[in-house]
Amino acid sequence: MRTKTLKTLLVAAAVLFGATGCTDLVVEPESTVTGANIFKDESSYEQFLAKLYAGLALTGQSGPNGSGDIQRINDEGFSNYLRLLWVLNTLPTDEAVIGWGDPGLPEMSYGTWGADNQWPGGMYSRIYFQVAMANEFLRETTDEKLDARNVSAATRADIQTYRAEARFLRALSYWHGIDLFGGIPLVDESFPIGATPPEGATRSEVYQFIVDELNAIRSTLPAPGSGEYGRADQGAVAMLLAKVYLNAEVYTGTGAYTQALQEVQTVISAGAYSLDDEFLEVFLADNHTSPELIFTVPQDGLNTRTWGGTTFLAHAAVGGNMNASAYGLDFAWWGLRIQPEIVGLFPADGDARRDDVFFTDGQSMEIDELFNFFDGYAAPKYRNVDSNGNPGSNQTHVDADYVVFRLADAYLMYAEAHLRGGGGDAGTAVGYINQLRERAYGDASGNITAGELTLDFILDERARELYWEGHRRTDLVRFGLFSGGAYIWTYKGGNAAGGALPDYRDLYPIPASELLANPNLTQNPGY
């Protein structure tokens, strides 16, 4: 059984970095990270690395709030990396709406955000905070710095792995950057602190940097499934590369479907992962024991408290006639509901991905009023109870880990890459899809044939399997359906009936404040 060993490092990292903070994130953080004040003990290197992981899970130095890392968003809870990423990739799609009127939030559901909206602005800041911290870690762990500090041979060997992990986390954030914003500044550890603000790089240039980095570090990391839980290994590298390659045509104009299929084959053939027996158990308080998970962001109600991540996803999905304690929670937040278009992709019954998750008592399927929780089915996918029904360690802050990559997605990507000309074979692709459907249906009644395996089917099956996991906007853009009027969903374009979005909405704007701070940047067209 895997344990959340990373959580103790996250606590240590919060102590170590008690004065880290920044606002001008494109350049570098103004921090207390120097060799003189944190590297007196060799354990500080691992704690520094933990801060990089903690940047995905926490919002500052005093969880669940206090001494926030970034200043560009008006509520520290909103500034959580995972919460921002989820909002940007989910609310503007056919997957979800939220019934809250916080500044800029309704516009995310409508698809009408502007360059001063705090949600894209907060995400941009989070991305560059992560990049800045990774760069600083790499600067402080060069051979020259380690020689000067007389670092032991054993620690130096560990640091080589730590450096690879830092580069993985930087590549992950840069992927989010090009996916959400397009061409963005490319700043690595060689960029001098305090220098002239960087030029913007093209989307293709950042894409190639990500690919090169991941291929360079792969062999330094543990084999798939053999690393410490919550930390990057070769399985996580292969999944991130597969994601980048699968979307290469969007990012560069040239597809890389063969490479995408090869990477998911690497994950699948490693034999380190298997589908969980029960779909819902992938999202419960003890999901760290699931054999399906490839890379997660650990959450812990006692040690990694935050108002984002799965705490947000679990609480915000509960309201109406739902009993919060049944989901291991103290309060319902009356926020998220699932869009009727996603509901319509499921059969009326028989699919556990709907039957075990959706809550319909007192809820209408249609969403006439955005701010009425009873409009739209509830879909509490993340829950703060374990697989035996016991509540998590804390009813306010949730124990369920946030799933970044899992095996089911690798199966779906194999099938899509095959259909797009990436190789493989139809029989294998159908077999992978039917494994997902047999888990969902409990038998072979939902299985498909090779003739039914089409790109349209894959897009719908990704929605059924992966809804509310932060993939949908990227998927719709890749399929050419996010903007335009070929596919309309509730509130697309700003009204309940839905409407077309202009194609420039496939990208978010560079924050207006960033353009003022860095005159070398150019706003994305349309904003």
Residue-level pLDDT at 67: 74
pTM for this structure? Answer: 0.95
SS3 of residue 168 by DSSP: helix
Question: Cis bond leading into 291, ω under 30°?
Answer: no
From CA 499, how far away is CA 183, in angstroms rounded? 28
200 neighbors 522 (Cβ within 8 angstroms)? yes
> Cβ–Cβ contacts within 10 Å for residue 389, how many?
10
Burial 161-199 (b: 16+ CB within 10 A, else e): bbbbbbbbbbbbbbbbbbbbbbbbbbbebebeeeeebbe
Residue-level pLDDT at 70: 84
The greatest distance separating any two alpha carbons of the chain, rounded to the nearest whole angstrom, comes to 67
Pick the CATH number of 9-72+85-194+489-527 from 3.30.70.1230, 3.40.50.300, 1.25.40.390, 1.25.40.10: 1.25.40.390
Residue-level pLDDT at 7: 52
Cα separation of the two ends of the chain: 49
pLDDT < 70: residue spans in the chain: 1-37, 195
Question: Cis bond leading into 64, ω under 30°?
Answer: yes
State the virtual CA torsion across 80, 75, 17, 515 in degrees, nearest 10.
80
